């Protein structure tokens, strides 16, 4: 059984990816998982897209939102 950890993500780790999960976004931003989901649902923070039932965060949009682009 393999496990995936989302701790200690950096912008360099995710720059080549198209999207992140909310859990990965929380780890990248250093916020709690519940806080990230709350912000994603309310739309008060980072840019979120809904794909079916999943919430994802576009990496290019997140980088622009952070002002790191």
What global pTM score does this model have? 0.82
pLDDT for 6-40, tens place per residue?
567 899 999 999 999 999 999 999 999 999 999 99
- State the helix-helix crossing angle for 22-29 and 33-42, rounded to 10 degrees: 110
Domains, the chain: 11-66 (1.10.10)
d(CA 68, CA 45): 16
């Amino acid at each position: 059984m393999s496990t995936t950890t989302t701790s200690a993500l950096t912008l360099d780790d995710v720059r080549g990816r198209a999207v992140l999960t909310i859990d990965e976004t929380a780890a990248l931003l250093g916020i709690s998982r519940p806080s990230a989901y709350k912000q994603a649902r309310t739309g008060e923070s980072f840019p979120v897209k809904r794909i079916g039932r999943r919430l994802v965060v576009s990496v290019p949009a997140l980088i622009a939102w952070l002002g790191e682009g």
